[in-house]
Structures are given as structure tokens and as C-alpha cells.
Amino acid sequence: MVHPDSVLAEIDQQFPQSVERVCELLRFPSVAMDPAHHGDCRRAAEWLVRDLKSMGFEAGLRSTTGQPLVVASYVPPGGGRAAPHILFYGHYDVQPADPLELWTSAPFEPEIRKGKGGQKAIFARGACDDKGQLMTFLEASRAWLKVHGRLPFRLTVMIEGDEEGDASHLDTFLKGNAADFPVDAAFICDTEMWDEKTPAINTRLRGCISDEVTVTGPRVDLHSGYYGGPAQNPIRVLSRILAAIHDARGRITIPGFYDGVKPLPPKLRKQWEALNFPAKQFLGDVGLSIPAGEQGYSALEQMWARPTAEVNGIFGGYRGPGRKTVLPAEATAKLSFRLVEGQDPRKIRKAFRKFVRDRLPPDCKARFQDGGGDSTGIAVSETTPWIAAARRALKDEFGREAVLVGGGFSIPVVESFKKHLKVDSVLVGFSQAEFGAHSPDERYDIESLRRGIRSWARIIAQFAEE
């Protein structure tokens, strides 16, 4: 391994220019889900292409069914056939900035100022999700190339423009173009540290499916004075079915729901226990105090390694002011299921719908609406050489071991890389929960940006030979 001291010195010396480049990218209001900003998305993508070309990459835009995809490639002098082929992924699209009145400064005019904790930060939409994060890798590559003249591996950079809206665009692209990307591993910078001093590598992500069920009963809304009693009430029917999904211990009762769910490895459970997650404070911060999840599992296990079934919305009947004494003709609920590795989204949806139909009284029927965007749970082996390299590098930078964590959320591209490119992803990020991704006054602390760049330089060094 080549020691990265000279690269780290270059990063620190040129850091003001790195900050300015991040701010340049942040000025593009690349809100992909808003057609009014599709031109801004393309301009952001073109800026990235120019930046990558300035470093010596072959770079261009590839068409997708959504926003243009930035694809850049680097091959070391001599071909680099013996070197690993790394894929780095990020996204240039951002969430809408609304409500604008809650921003201290304009969301697409980056401003550097002190946050509540006194740390200097870049305030702008996309600062931590994901423009600042993806630039940590590009800036590390820039410094490495300037100092050494070459990277120690083949590299493909893939930066999409639809992550915040519709992940199916990139999935469709990868399905049709997988042969163009014969990579050995994927690195993604779109996650968080464990805390401000402790780096983290995410090895587990939950998948998600959504479904909507509407229970119908009488042909029209009914007067409760005439029909209350003998007539079926769809709200009551639906409520009873929803309540039956969980037993008294919080376990999901849908037959076959836990098929394929694997027990958490004891070594990993011990690591999570050592994190001393403050579950009471976690609940207290949102006005709660009593754990309500699946009994027998810690809060972290419930969030990172156990599947869930949640009702996200329920409605039916009269919802206006005052009262209207009716029995509604129908009632609707929206549900989401967070899934872990081993569960089949199609089987879960089929099992849920059968669970509902089996509990309908004779006079009621149910119709369903697929919520779309299905994703499976992902688990990456904690012993891959890619994770080992990242752990060594992060320890060198932060002076403490990187913790292996899970995520209750989904990052669909991880599934797409596994499915189409047959590679695992290494999820390393330098954001923190309080940076406000998706919220007004989103920020990326200046020190997080600098440490992120330095960390990627140390990871690159893991593949360089003396």
C-alpha cells in the first residue's frame, strides 16, 4: 500500500477550491421530479461531465427513461488489467426545496455559515444528499491523480438523476446495459456516520413494498339510524383486519410472512449491542416513551434486521366539519412493509391480500392498488475485502474502528447493482442525521466534507502498491 500522506497534504492545501466546486454543483436546482427543472438536471449532469473530463476521465451522458446518466471511465496507463475495477455511484438530483419560507438562505444559493453547534457548514439543498457526498470521492480522485498521475484501479463513475423520484429508470438502464459495466465492487457515498466522531459502513438495508386496500360494503353510504346494526360497516371491517396483522407481542401474523428471514449473526448482534443505542432518548425525542415493536429484539434489531408491517393511512366515510351519521360504502388503508434479506416482495404482497380476503364477511369485497417501487432487503457480507479495505482506511482517518450498521430504509440502486451487475456495494458516508437531508436548511459541515475527501483518499491508497 502506498502511504497517502502526500495526497492528504494536497487535499488540505486545495480544500478551498474543493469547497467552491461543491458550491458550483449545488447552484443547479436539479429537482428531477419537477418538469420545470428538467433543464437544470441536464445542466448539472453536463457540469459533472466537464469536471470529470478535466481530471482525465472519458465522460459523457447516457440516455435513460428518465434524467440523463453521467458515466465516466478511467483506465490506468498500461490497461490496468490486473487491477480491480471499481464502480463509484452518486446522484445529482435533489428533493424539492419547499417550503421556501423555512430556509434561512436561498436553497440553491449555497451559503457558508455556522450551524447551531458552531461548526461551519455549507447550507443548500443537496449539500449532504447527495452532491456534497459524491464530491468527496471526486475530489479525492482529483488529488490522487495530481500527486501520483494515475489511480491504482480501473474506475467507472456513475451519477444518476432520478434517485429521489423513480429508481426504476436506472434499474431499467442497468438491465439493458449490464455488459458495459464488468466491475468487481461498487462504492456508494449516500449514508451517514454513526456519530460525529465514529465512521460507519452500512451492510444491511431493508427493502419496501407498498399496497392499498379498499373494503367495500353497501352500494351507497347509509343512514346510521336506519342501517346501524344490521348493515356491515366497511370501516369496522377494515379496522378489525388491520388490527389482526400484529399479535400481542408485535409479531406479524400474516402466514408465511417470515419465510426466508435469517437470524442475525451473533457477532454482529454483539457489535450492535456495543453501540449502546439510546432507545429511550430516540423515542423521547419524538414524544414517545414506551417501545412498541416486536418483543424480544432491541430497537436497532427492529429497525435494521427485522421486517415490519405498518399502516400509513386510513380513511373512509365523512371527514368534513361537524357530523354526518353514515355507514360508509367503503374504507381504505395504505400500508407499507419493510422487508429484510430473504423475503420475496411478490410473496409478501400475495400473502397480505389473501390475509385480507380470508377475513372479509360475506357482504364485503376488497380491491387492491399496488403502490409500486418494490425493493428487496439487502445484506452484504461483513468480511468482503472491499469492506476490510474501507474499515482500515476509515480507522486511519478517524482514529477509531468503523462500526458496521444497518439501515431501516431502502437504497434501490444497491439491489440493482446486485441483480444486474452481480456485485456487492460498500456504503460509506459522511453525513449526519442533524444535517437535515430533505429538510429546510439542509447542510454539510465543512469538516465532514474535508474528512470525507481524506477518507476516500485513504481508501484509494488501500489498492495502491509501493
Q: Once rounded to an integer, what is the mean pLDDT over residues 145-173?
A: 95
Q: Which CATH superfamily is domain 5-205+377-461 in?
A: Zn peptidases (3.40.630.10)
Per-residue pLDDT for 291 more than 80? Answer: yes
Phi, psi of 283 (to 5 degrees): -75, -40
Per-residue pLDDT for 81 more than 70? Answer: no
The single-letter code of the amino acid at 73 is S
Among the listed residues 445, 398, 429, 439, the one whose alpha carbon sits nearest the alpha carbon of residue 116: 445
> pLDDT band at residue 75, thresholds of 50, 70 and 90?
very high
Peptide bond into 130 cis (omega under 30): yes
Full DSSP string of 141-194: HHHHHHHHSS-SSEEEEEEES-TTT-THHHHHHHHHHGGG---SEEEE---B-S
- State residue 116's pLDDT score: 86
Among the listed residues 14, 16, 23, 19, the one whose alpha carbon sits nearest the alpha carbon of residue 146: 14
- Summarize pLDDT for 107-154 with one digit per residue, the tens: 999 999 998 889 999 999 999 999 999 999 999 999 999 999 999 999
Among the listed residues 248, 209, 235, 239, the one whose alpha carbon sits nearest the alpha carbon of residue 352: 209
CA distance 197 to 195: 5
- State residue 82's pLDDT score: 78
CA distance 88 to 416: 14
| Residues contacting residue 452 through CB under 8 Å, at least 6 positions apart | 132, 133, 136, 189, 430
> pLDDT band at residue 381, thresholds of 50, 70 and 90?
confident
CA distance 145 to 331: 61
CA distance 231 to 144: 74
CA distance 450 to 463: 21
CA distance 179 to 298: 42
- Summarize pLDDT for 259-283 with one digit per residue, the tens: 999 999 999 999 999 999 999 999 9
Per-residue pLDDT for 237 more than 80? Answer: yes
Phi, psi of 252 (to 5 degrees): -80, 130
- Summarize pLDDT for 27-51 with one digit per residue, the tens: 999 999 999 999 999 999 999 999 9
Dihedral angle sign, alpha carbons of residues 212, 218, 219, 222: negative
Peptide bond into 218 cis (omega under 30): no
- State residue 466's pLDDT score: 56
| Residues contacting residue 48 through CB under 8 Å, at least 6 positions apart | 25, 59, 70, 92, 159
Element of type H or E holding 12: helix 5-13
**Could you tell me if 128 and 192 are in contact, meaning their C-beta atoms sit under 8 angstroms apart?**
no
| Burial zone of 76 (CB within 10 Å; 0-12 exposed, 13-18 middle, 19+ buried) | middle
CA distance 238 to 275: 40
- Summarize pLDDT for 304-355 with one digit per residue, the tens: 999 999 999 999 999 999 999 999 999 999 999 999 999 999 999 999 999 9
| Residues contacting residue 326 through CB under 8 Å, at least 6 positions apart | 221, 222, 223, 224, 317, 318
> pLDDT band at residue 80, thresholds of 50, 70 and 90?
low
Phi, psi of 439 (to 5 degrees): -110, 165
Among the listed residues 394, 383, 384, 385, the one whose alpha carbon sits nearest the alpha carbon of residue 198: 394
Percent over 70 (pLDDT), the chain: 99
> pLDDT band at residue 2, thresholds of 50, 70 and 90?
confident
In the chain, how long is the greatest CA-to-CA distance?
Answer: 87
- Is the domain spanning 207-265+292-370 CATH 3.90.1150.10? The answer is no
Percent over 90 (pLDDT), the chain: 92
CA distance 435 to 131: 13
CA distance 181 to 85: 9
Domain ranges of the chain: 5-205+377-461, 207-265+292-370
Q: What angle do CA 343, 344, 348 make, to 5 degrees?
A: 95
| Distances from the Cα of 432 to the Cα of 128, 186, 194, 426, angstroms | 9, 22, 8, 18
> pLDDT band at residue 12, thresholds of 50, 70 and 90?
very high
Length of the chain as a residue count: 466
- State residue 3's pLDDT score: 84
Dihedral angle sign, alpha carbons of residues 29, 32, 37, 41: positive
